[in-house]
């Protein structure tokens, strides 16, 4: 009888499910942003495929620090996952800066085809060499300029404009060439700097401008679409290396769901965001193709630099994608 009881106890012990593993996921924007939508879609997909093997702890609104700090946390293994902008990526994978070249992407369909295709996948693989694993390219959309000085219609309108940019050398070179005064700044500091007048404006996709309610601190919005802004889903290599093949497959599928959610959010904001911002009191102007061409011509010197840095062949390959 004692042997039977002992066997039953051992059996019961082995029947106890293993504790769920916690995944800390950090991102710069609020939960109701495209980042939040992507993070929630990832969690839901993973729960559907793997049940209760993993639990998520979300840190929106830069709850784990700025994007550089969070990426470094992913490298160290203190943060399991993040969704970040392309702003600081070139500091880790310099080649990834090519996606930030102004007026390189024609439209959303073109950008998505580039990132989902051979070029985008080649770039994702480069992150394994710098201490992180990239699951997929997400999305923010095309970047536009907001400011408190006035409408922007020509490069002359950016002269001396104190504009917050990401910590991105490609963006900095372009705005310097236009005569602006670009000011790299971590996202958590931006709203306060705009309120205090330390900077005149900033540039971001509509998905950020709307979700961050920048209409509360900015008067003018210029729809210039100067840069397409991808996002990326990164995972700690230590965490990734401890997953088995079936779990890795589930994470890859969850990344696809996350990308679809981010793109769906961007599509919705692109369709309704301008009206939302106008209703909130922003003055909005949109550049024509001819006006954009003038800005592109003003960036002739930076383009020579970009071609030297990233390779004209790669830039031509991107532009050739249908």
168 pLDDT higher than 90: no
Residue 244 lies in a domain: yes
Q: How far is CA 178 from CA 24, 173, 226, 241, 295, in A?
A: 40, 9, 12, 45, 8
Question: Rounded to two decimals, what is the model's pTM?
Answer: 0.86
Residue 1 lies in a domain: no
pLDDT of residue 18: 63
pLDDT of residue 80: 98
Q: What is the CATH number of the domain that holds 306?
A: 3.40.190.170
129 pLDDT higher than 70: yes
Mean pLDDT of the chain: 93
Give the span between the Cα atoms of 89 and 96, in whole angstroms.
Answer: 7
Domain count for the chain: 1
pLDDT tens for 233-250 read 999 999 999 999 999 999
pLDDT of residue 166: 86
pLDDT tens for 247-298 read 999 999 999 999 999 999 999 998 999 999 999 999 999 999 999 999 999 9
Residue 306 lies in a domain: yes
Strands (E) across the chain are located at 21-26, 54-59, 81-85, 133-147, 162-165, 181-184, 201-205, 220-235, 283-286
Question: pLDDT band for position 33 (50/70/90)?
Answer: very high
pLDDT of residue 88: 86
pLDDT tens for 52-98 read 999 999 999 999 999 999 999 999 999 999 999 988 898 899 999 99
Residue 6 lies in a domain: no
Give the span between the Cα atoms of 258 and 41, in whole angstroms.
Answer: 5
Residues β-bridged to residue 286: 223
For residue 128, the enclosing domain spans 19-320
Residue 269 lies in a domain: yes
> How far is residue 17 CA from its own chain's centroid?
36
């Amino acid at each position: 009888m004692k042997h039977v009881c002992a066997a039953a106890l051992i059996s019961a012990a082995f029947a106890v499910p293993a504790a769920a593993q916690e995944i800390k996921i950090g991102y710069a924007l609020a939960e109701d942003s495209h980042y939040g939508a992507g993070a929630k879609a990832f969690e839901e997909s993973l729960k559907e495929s793997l049940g209760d093997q993993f639990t998520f702890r979300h840190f929106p609104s830069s709850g784990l620090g700025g994007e550089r700090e969070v990426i470094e946390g992913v490298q160290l293994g203190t943060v399991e996952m993040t969704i970040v902008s392309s702003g600081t990526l070139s500091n880790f994978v310099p080649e990834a800066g090519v996606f930030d070249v102004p007026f390189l992407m024609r439209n959303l369909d073109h950008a998505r085809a580039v990132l989902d295709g051979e070029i985008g996948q080649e770039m994702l693989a480069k992150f394994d060499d710098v201490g992180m694993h990239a699951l997929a390219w997400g999305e923010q959309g095309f970047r536009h300029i907001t400011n408190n000085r006035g409408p922007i219609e020509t490069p002359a309108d950016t002269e001396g404009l104190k504009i917050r940019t990401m910590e991105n050398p490609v963006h900095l070179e372009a705005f310097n060439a236009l005569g602006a005064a670009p000011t790299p700044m971590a996202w958590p500091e931006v709203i306060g700097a705009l309120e205090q007048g330390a900077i005149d404006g900033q540039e971001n996709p509509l998905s950020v401008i709307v979700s961050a309610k920048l209409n509360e601190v900015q008067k003018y919005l210029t729809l210039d679409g100067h840069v397409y802004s991808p996002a990326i889903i990164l995972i700690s290599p230590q965490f990734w290396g401890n997953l088995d093949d079936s779990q890795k497959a589930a994470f890859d599928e969850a990344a696809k769901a996350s990308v679809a959610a981010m793109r769906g959010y961007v599509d919705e904001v692109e369709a309704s965001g301008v009206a939302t911002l106008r209703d909130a009191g922003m003055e909005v102007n949109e550049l024509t193709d001819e006006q954009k061409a003038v800005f592109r011509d003003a960036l002739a010197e930076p383009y020579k630099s970009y071609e030297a840095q990233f390779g004209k062949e790669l830039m031509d390959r991107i532009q050739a994608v249908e």
